[in-house]
A = this chain, B = another copy of it.
Amino acid sequence: MSSELPDLATGPAGAAPTLSEVAKRAGVSSITVSRVVRMPDLVAPETRARVEQAMRDLGYVPNLVAGALASARTNSVGVLVPTIANSIFADTVQGLSDKLEPLGFSVILAQSRYDAAREDRMLAALLSRRPEAIIMVGSPATEEGSRLLRNARIPIVETWDLPANPIDAVAGFDNYQAGVAVAKHLAAQGRKQLAFIGGDDPRGTRRWLGYRDEALASGLAEPRRLILDRKDSGSVAAHARLPGVDAVFAANDAHAIGFMSGLRKAGVLREGPASAQPVAVIGLGDLEMGQLISPTLSTISVHGDAIGRTAATLTLERGGERRIDLGFELVLRDSG
């Protein structure tokens, strides 16, 4: 109802007021209004006050679209993630926003849903808005995406991995070594038959490769690999599909917790420490939830928000180190 009758007390009736309307009302030229908005120190206090009054009277909201075109600066950053829901990438988006928003940058968010074609479309859509940088999880899935980014001539930050040939900058950790660390730990714990559950996206696959290679190097049998789709439900039923397995590395904590839920139903979950567990479980991500469940979840801790903040920093400074390894940490709790 009130949507049809906007507040006329302060706002104007028709289209949004422009710089020059403010200028006319304040009796100055448009450039002076522009300066009041962007570099108020260059304007005499009385003039400034007059302009500010006019802006208030008219309810002026600067048009950054026009400003961006004129100045060739959009003050925006494109962010591409596989998904934001139920996911650890949300921390990364939060981290980079917290760094960029106070500097006047807006975040243009796009989701690829782990789909290469959609990723390319989103990349093209982002670039057509002329962001001053692109931050993405992982690397472009296609040659076309890679080419688009290379030609864009803006800072590009790939995150959550350490690609061998990055387009520009990198903020991540070594997924292969994460897999190695988990396998090494499980072998040292005396586990004999390892398994890996999770997706087959590039980062998950790298974790798997490190895990498998290290298991083999430790003299264990080749681990089993169960590829699950994105619904956690699969992980709950995973135990039945992994007979004889006494240790599981899940590609992320959500899968790990789902798997543990399956173990619980099957009666093979103990309240005691890792050594008491018939099946060890290690996750990745270090969700807060992992510390709240019982047994508490052992995990590879990764700082998603630090990745985001670091990526933001890399978009702002063009010089300096362009490859930041934020590392990971094997956090041992009761599950394995």
Contacts and interface: CB of A to CB of B under 8 A. Distances in A.
Interface residues of A, number: 78
A101 B129 contact: no
Given A65-B74, A97-B109, A130-B64, A288 B3 contact: no
A42 interface: no
Contacts of A240: none
A334 to B, nearest CB: 12
Interface in A104-132: 104, 106-111, 122, 124-130
Given A65-B65, A69-B69, A85-B90, A2 B165 contact: yes
Contacts of A304: 85
Given A2-B165, A3-B322, A106 B125 contact: yes
B107 A109 contact: yes
A168 B292 CA distance: 41
Given A289-B289, A292-B232, A107 B110 contact: yes
A66 B294 CA distance: 56
Interface string A285-317: 001110111100000000011000000000000
A247 to B, nearest CB: 20
Given A94-B85, A305-B85, A129 B64 contact: yes
Nearest to A111: B97
Contacts of A147: 7, 10-11, 59
Interface string A87-109: 10011011001100100101111
Interface stretch (A193-201, A203-211, A220-228, A258-266): A258-266
Nearest to A104: B125
Interface stretch (A26-34, A44-52, A148-156): A148-156
Contact of A127 (B61, B93, B289): B61
A215 interface: no
A6 to B, nearest CB: 5
Interface in A54-69: 59, 61-66, 68-69
A84 interface: yes
A16 B132 CA distance: 13
Contacts of A110: 97, 101, 106-107
A101 B111 contact: yes
Nearest to A292: B261
B68 A65 contact: yes
A284 to B, nearest CB: 16
B101 A292 contact: no
Q: Which 5 pairs from chain A and chain B are nearest by CB?
A: A11-B151, A85-B94, A261-B292, A3-B168, A64-B128
11 contacts: A61-B151, A62-B128, A64-B128, A85-B90, A85-B93, A85-B94, A94-B111, A98-B111, A257-B292, A260-B292, A289-B289
